[in-house]
Chains A and B, each alone.
Chain A
Amino acid sequence: MLNERQVDYILNDIRRNGIQTEELQYNLLDHICCVIENEMSPENSFDEFYRSVLSRFFKKELKEIQEETDLLLTFKNYYAMKKVMLRSGMFSAITFTIGAIFKIMHYPGAGMMLVLAITAVSFVFLPIFFLVKTKEVKEKKEKFILGFGAFFGILFCISVMFKIMHWPGAHALWLGGLCVLFFLFLPLYFFTGIRNPETKLNTILSSIMILIAGGLLFTITALHETKDAENASKSSYLHLRESVVNISELNDIKYKIAADSLKGQNEILKEKTNQVIEKISKVREDLNEYISNGEEIKEENINGAKVGGGLPTMYLFDDNQKPKPYLSEIKSEIIQLKKFIGSIYGNEKIELLNTSDGLKIVGDEEEMTTWEKIYFYQVPLDYVYRNLDQLILNIRITEGNCIK
């Protein structure tokens, strides 16, 4: 039996020679000890015999055993990783295709499928793809490029997901991804590949392809504006606003060419009309400010997709679903204007100015409700703007019909 000093000596020697895994250390220690105990004859010296035993374990150095073990262990992981990569890739491709078709057809569940597919690509497929590929390339630079490629891919996928789901921050992510592509990945890829004569042609071709694809994506970006509060306001039926301006100009001309005898009456009409329109415009502006000032507004808050109605409803109605004073005032102003016009110009002139209660579709049912609620309660922001603009337009048209 070997004494403790000898066992320690062997263990330290094994460690010194590059065996790092503890279990491997103890395995080798036991093995060497067994050989020595069973095969060493009394005339051999421990030191010499130990050296001769150890030399049986390797070709050049003992470290080979550690390397071989590591290789076998990583190869196993490598194989498993490839399997996961292939499966997640297949899953994403199928889910994404079905999700995209559902999205185009407006079937339910499209969003969930797309999110699942993109999440699988971004967080399973691409990272593993990167790891597997880095094992295959040797140069550090190539690994770096692969890393950047994977990073861009993940960023790009996530930004597409944000865009599809209309989540806030989509635009910034999208632009960030494109910037990484154009200013980091592409130059790095191009200048690394072009130096090597073997990869020169391929690099140039791939770079051109990436540039074209990136350019196309960038063009799409320019076309698609995100639907934040400001843009919802801006894009809300611009032609409606234009019509208001056109009709107002037309009305002004009508006022100018009107007979002198009617000027007095026209003045009153103009004043009363402008008064109502100012009220409506004020509410529109205040609402816009209210929404723009709210930081980190969720899309659902702006558009009121969820029950509760979002910010426009919060601004225009109180907790008991009653219209706030500034909204009720609009209604009463319009009613007064109707009375005025009806009495002087005839009731047929006020057909456009509707302030009556009516039916509103709530869920699957229609219910009788107030004018305010029909046009403004739990109505998405852009529709609220549109309804306000439509009111102004109708008033202007009515005004125009009355000018003599």
Chain B
Amino acid sequence: MYSSELIKGTLKTIILKLLSDSDKMYGYEITQKVKELTGGKIQLTEGALYPTLHAMETQGILSTDVVNVGNRIRKYYSVTEIGKKTANDKVSEYSDFIDTMIFLLDLKPKLG
């Protein structure tokens, strides 16, 4: 598992990418999906996830859909049109960042 500092800087990007690839997701589903995709290497903490989701909602990047599930309410998140652009920007920025970090830290790809 990676340190929370590392995850914090990428949280928005991860959420946006996941939500753009699917129709809509709720909070628990997002954490499970990330865990599953990364083989448990990245585990989003609830303490960071929900504040970010709320902030992104007020910024108009995410829209929500409230559904009754049994005796409680579930809030589904999906990406808005503005959010889709933000998602692309974030992902390409991050990809560029990784290249820069590889160069900066002198991490040469291991050749077989």
| CB atoms of B28 and A34 under 8 A apart | yes
User: Please, which residues of chain A bring their CB within 8 A of the CB of B85?
Assistant: none
With A7-B72, A33-B72 known as contacts, the answer to whether A27 contacts B27 (CB < 8 A) is yes
| CB atoms of B51 and A27 under 8 A apart | no
Residue B22 is within 8 A (CB to CB) of chain A in the complex: no
Residue A4 is within 8 A (CB to CB) of chain B in the complex: yes
Residue A290 is within 8 A (CB to CB) of chain B in the complex: no
With A30-B73, A34-B28 known as contacts, the answer to whether A76 contacts B59 (CB < 8 A) is yes
Residue B74 is within 8 A (CB to CB) of chain A in the complex: yes
Sample 28 A-B pairs with CB under 8 A, ordered by A number: A2-B70, A2-B71, A4-B71, A7-B72, A23-B54, A24-B54, A26-B73, A26-B74, A27-B27, A29-B72, A29-B73, A30-B28, A30-B73, A31-B46, A56-B45, A56-B46, A57-B45, A64-B47, A65-B46, A65-B47, A69-B50, A69-B51, A69-B55, A72-B54, A72-B55, A73-B58, A76-B55, A76-B58
A contact residues, range: 20 to 34
Bound form: Cα–Cα A69–B27 in Å: 15
| CB atoms of A27 and B58 under 8 A apart | no
Closest B residue to A33 by beta carbon equals B72
Q: In whole Å, how far is B64's beta carbon from the nearest beta carbon of chain A?
A: 8
Contact mask for chain B residues 74-99; partner A; CB cutoff 8 A; 1 contact, 0 none: 11000000000000000000000000
User: Which DSSP category, helix, strand, loop or mixed, fits chain B's interface?
Assistant: helix
Residue A138 is within 8 A (CB to CB) of chain B in the complex: no
How many of chain B's residues have a CB under 8 angstroms from any CB in A?
Answer: 23
User: Please, which residues of chain A bring their CB within 8 A of the CB of B58?
Assistant: 73, 76
Instruction: Count contacts between A and B, CB distance < 8 Å.
Output: 70
User: Please, which residues of chain B bring their CB within 8 A of the CB of A30?
Assistant: 26-28, 69, 72-75
| CB atoms of B50 and A27 under 8 A apart | yes
Residue A81 is within 8 A (CB to CB) of chain B in the complex: no
Contact mask for chain B residues 35-79; partner A; CB cutoff 8 A; 1 contact, 0 none: 000000000011110111111001100000000011111110000
Bound form: Cα–Cα A59–B73 in Å: 26
The 5 closest A-B pairs by CB, nearest first: A72-B55, A34-B28, A69-B51, A68-B51, A26-B73
Which residue of B26, B52, B70 contacts A72 across the interface (Cβ within 8 Å)?
B52
Bound form: Cα–Cα A24–B27 in Å: 11
| CB atoms of A23 and B55 under 8 A apart | no
With A7-B72, A33-B72, A34-B28 known as contacts, the answer to whether A28 contacts B52 (CB < 8 A) is no
User: Please, which residues of chain A bring their CB within 8 A of the CB of B59?
Assistant: 76
Bound form: Cα–Cα A30–B46 in Å: 12
Which residue of A1, A56, A59, A69 contacts B54 across the interface (Cβ within 8 Å)?
A69
Closest A residue to B74 by beta carbon equals A30
Contact mask for chain B residues 3-37; partner A; CB cutoff 8 A; 1 contact, 0 none: 00000000000000000000000111001000000
Q: In whole Å, how far is A184's beta carbon from the nearest beta carbon of chain B?
A: 38
